[in-house]
Amino acid sequence: MDILNIWSNLAKSLPDFEQRSDQITMSNAIGEILLTKEHLICEAGTGIGKSFAYLLPIINFIKNSNPSQNKTGEQHSRLVVSTYTKTLQQQLMEKDIPLLQSAGLEFKASLALGSANYLCLRRKDKLVIEKMQLLFPGEKSKETDRLILWSAKTETGLRSEFEKEGVSDIFNEFSRDPDLCIGQKCSYFNRCFYKKARENLKKADVILVNHWLFFADVASGRKILPEYDALVFDEAHELEDVATSFAGIDISNYSIDYFLRIIKREIGKVPEFTEIVRSVSGASTDFFNMIKNIAGKNKTFRVIDKIGSEFPTEFDTIRKALKEIRKRTDDPERMVELEKYITKCSNIRATLNSFLEQKEPDTVHWIESSQYRDARKPRIAIRSAPISVASWMQKNVFSHDIPIVLTSATLTVDKKFDFVADRIGMTTRKELLLASSFDYKDNVILYIPAKGILPKDLKYPEFIAKQVETLVKTTSQTGGTLVLFTSFKLMNGVYSMLNGKLSVPCLKQDEFGKNELLRRFKEKPSVLFGVSSFWQGIDIPGKALSTVIITKLPFEVPDSPITESRAEKITEDGGIPFIEYQLPQAVMQLKQGFGRLIRRKEDFGIVAILDMRIVNKEYGRTFIASLPMHKRVRDIKPVEKFFKDKKAVLK
């Protein structure tokens, strides 16, 4: 079907559909790179309708092309769309894709999930036989009974189906573990939920994944997703961070404990092996206590010198014992299972050695410590990451001979794509910058107080609290207030000053789960205090949100291991870290925070930036220049008039 006809059908079948010129521009640009197999990076401001703009031309191209036989013998072209948030995945699957299908574009879409989302029948039945209730007493026993009953009737085996009534940790004991799965040798293989899901992916024209699963596929040697002929990264501003995670190391006392518990239980009652596992468990505790002592009271501690430890050799002991057990079995399935455990032991040893020896060039190593709520002990992790993922991305993503689209509402700094593109190794590209179609000039005020103090001032929390109180009094009759922080310490301090003192309820990150917080916020005008994840990926349209308060410019902590090492590398290369890395990164984050306010055409409100550096420092101009067109005021009276006028219009 011709693209123009599809746009026309959308307009006819959807009463509220608006065909936007920028949306057509983006769609046409994608149509061009499909023919030339080039790469496109496109910043599409809020309201342009970027999902339709990339889905429509690529799906239409794939369905009307004549694909040549690929490596696996398939005569099937397909598109992979990778997103960062579950919210966008759900929007694409439940709203955008059905609308395109209703407009006459015939295609099949499927959601790809990581294997840990699926029940493993082999593990489940084995644990039932071994009377799991004895291993998990009390509430966990009840959850196990519930899962066993559910497993007999589920057709998907999906974690989300089992956890409709709430998150359940017990699912982890039954879920598929890719490192330990024995594949076709498993007697449950033909009934495997994960296998069936992968077969469905092969039938799909469009596969929706998240960035983590996409990079897991890359790291696995392309063993998770079927072959595809076009790739879209939506929310592409997150690619560097996710790629960094997959190109590095992350192993903790929790992950070691989990492996030892699983292997001890699934090997069965072999006295000498049980004793070996118990010994290694004790050695693991000693090792991570040593690691914790190195970090001291620091939650994050960069490791520069090598660490001496014999702990990795403990896994040679387990490996040797497993090989002896394998010699005594004649069960083919059991032999494959044992081989998986042996390989896992080798991988753990290699990972530990990699961290301790620090032989990889251009890599940063650090220790992280965190205390989960209700956890008996802290999580202590050893981590490493490449200082740059540009060459890794160039080799593993952009070198493939397929068209690739990167899009997001925030990909430029001062109207240029260089920062993002250079960070991820996108050396050849076409560029398209499309401003938001929303009327920011008439519907948004940027408020920066005429008088204020700098964040380093000891009285800064009091200043923030007074500003929040003033703004809430001015705007609470129109909608809720989102207050964005860069640290939990400042957030908790301001929250304690204001909770119970404002005319509307106060909600705070970690007080409830994120979804519950957003539900309450949308239900009743409130003040929501948030850090990190609340700067992006949340959608609060309409009257629920009329004010966004940014307490500090979102610079990364300069001594965080990755930021520090990247700054050092830029300095070594003769650059200026602040200008080339820290400032652009902060600008991108500020644009995300600013973007929380206007989510629909009829939305309006104010964004308040309380950090005086945005007007007192030369670099403040870069922040301002990167924001959508807006009115800027320094006094509260224009804000009061703005909301008064808007309320009058609404009446």
Which residue type does 463 have?
Answer: F
pLDDT tens digits for 490-520?
999 999 999 999 989 999 998 888 888 999 9
For residue 332, what is the enclosing H or E element? helix 332-357
* Strand, coil or helix: 19: coil
For the question of whether the overall pTM of this predicted structure is more than 0.85, the answer is yes
Q: Where in the chain is the domain with CATH 3.40.50.300?
A: 3-108+204-241+392-434, 440-650
Say whether domain 440-650 belongs to CATH 3.40.50.300. yes
Q: What is the pLDDT of residue 163?
A: 86
Torsion of Cα atoms, 267 then 269 then 273 then 274, to 10°: 110
For 304-332, what is the mean pLDDT?
92
Please state, in angstroms and rounded to a whole number, the distance separating the CA atoms of residues 299 and 196: 42
pLDDT tens digits for 39-48?
999 999 888 8
Please state, in angstroms and rounded to a whole number, the distance separating the CA atoms of residues 60 and 69: 19
User: In sequence order, what are the residues at sequence separation of 6 or more whose Cβ sits closer than 8 angstroms to the Cβ of residue 454?
Assistant: 460, 611, 612, 613, 616
- Give the pair of three-digit tokens for residue 39: 């790469």
Give CA angle at 106 (100, 110), nearest 5°: 80
Phi-psi region of 447 (alpha: psi -120 to 50; beta: other; left: phi over 0): beta
Q: Where in the chain is the domain with CATH 1.10.275?
A: 249-386
Residue 177 backbone dihedrals phi, psi, to 5 degrees: -110, 110
Q: What topology is assigned to 3-108+204-241+392-434 in CATH?
A: Rossmann fold (3.40.50)
Contact present, 284 and 349 (Cβ < 8 Å): no
Q: Tell me the percentage of the chain whose pLDDT exceeds 90.
A: 63
Name the pLDDT band for 69 (thresholds 50, 70, 90).
very low
Please state, in angstroms and rounded to a whole number, the distance separating the CA atoms of residues 126 and 565: 47
What's the distance, Cα to Cα, between the start and end of the chain in Å?
A: 45
Q: What topology is assigned to 249-386 in CATH?
A: Fumarase C; Chain B, domain 1 (1.10.275)
Q: What is the pLDDT of residue 129?
A: 63
The rounded mean pLDDT for the chain is: 89
